[in-house]
Amino acid sequence: MRNLDENTITDAVLKRHEGASNVRLGAVMTSLVRHLHDFAREVQLTEEEWEAGIRFLTEVGHITDGNRQEFILLSDTLGLSMLVTAMANRKPVGCTEATVFGPFFVGGAPVHRNGDDIANGAGGEPCFVSGRIMGLEGEAVPNARIEVWQADSAGFYDVQYEGDTHRARAVLHSLPDGSYHFRSIVAEPYPIPHDGPVGKLLAALGRHPWRPAHLHFMITAPGYERLVTHVFRDGDRYLDSDAVFGVRSSLIADWIHHEEGVAPDGTRMQSPFSTLAFDFVLNRSS
């Protein structure tokens, strides 16, 4: 194959994929090459722009390590992560919707009992969270494993600090009636890590790096599909411009503010606190 020009080169590359032993890989790469070539032709990509793109991806690679995954951040901010999440989580109406996993989940979170304070020193206004884990017919899902993680009032997750103390991160299990409750802190908006190439790209595009305040949940129970989702705080100024496109109206809830007084668990609070109630509806696995 010789003398390929700007139009015939695409089919020439695709022809080389015909022998792929992994059929799915062949199909995915064929589509990727077609879209990449079409993109380059559509924008009439210059050599300088191609070099800038290579430099950008190289920087993304260099800053990525065991703690920092800039490629996922790139995927998140381009909306690709949320697109893949949406396609992987087509659920019947009535089920709690899924949203992005995010880079701040870590395994090995401490197991707590319902009612415990999971903040473990994380800064923020106390918040009492409660709700039920249910199936689509309203049936209680007892003993569901509930993993919860959130940022503190400074906008940082425990894993972003030195040391390996778990804060505002826990595993709980739903009670026989499907209910759960715990104490933590009020979620606040925070910027995604933006001191690297992805942050520079956002700034160059006139985009901010903020995510609206949210709590992360991952819920698993035998007989049900795993649910990875957030609960977002109503009224947050970033609900309509989430840097990673993860907001679903059905996941927005009221954090109710209370002045000092008696908390839902009977604790006499000497300072203001909040409460949040949110039920999760799981889809049965087939």
Q: Taking contact as CB under 6 A, which single stretch among the options 44-52, 58-66, 101-109, 200-208 is the one that binds ligand BEZ?
A: 101-109
DSSP labels, 104-144? ---S-PPB--TT-B--TT--S-EEEEEEEEEETTS-B-TT-
Q: Which does 192 bind (CB under 5 to 8 A by kind): Fe ion, ligand BEZ, none?
A: ligand BEZ
Position among 132, 181, 194, 211 found at the interface with ligand BEZ (CB under 6 A): 211
The β-bridge relationship of strands 179-185 and 145-149 is unpaired
Please check whether residue 113 is in contact with residue 261, taking contact to mean a CB–CB distance below 8 angstroms.
no
100 vs 281 by CB, closer to ligand BEZ = 100
Instruction: Mark the segment that binds ligand BEZ (CB under 6 A) among 102-110, 133-141, 197-205, 277-285.
Output: 102-110
Residues touching ligand BEZ, count (CB under 6 A): 9
Q: Which two tokens stand for residue 271?
A: 């300072």
Residue 176's CB: how many other CB atoms inside 10 A?
8
- Decide: is 228 part of the binding site for ligand BEZ (CB under 6 A): no
Residue 256, Cβ neighbours under 10 Å: how many? Answer: 13
Indicate the SS3 state at residue 245.
coil
Looking at residue 232, its amino acid is F
210-269 residues near Fe ion, rule: CB under 5 A: none
Instruction: For the segment 96-115, give every residue that binds Fe ion (CB under 5 A).
Output: 102
Question: Cα separation of 225 and 230, whole Å?
Answer: 16
Task: Candidates 1-9, 98-106, 108-116, 133-141: pick the segment binding ligand BEZ (CB under 6 A).
Answer: 98-106
Q: Between 218 and 244, name the residue whose CB sits nearer to ligand BEZ.
A: 244
First to last CA, the chain: 49
Q: Which residues bind Fe ion (CB under 5 A)?
A: 102
User: Using CB under 6 A as the criterion, which residues of the chain lie in contact with ligand BEZ when the complex forms?
Assistant: 73, 76, 100, 102-104, 192, 211, 244
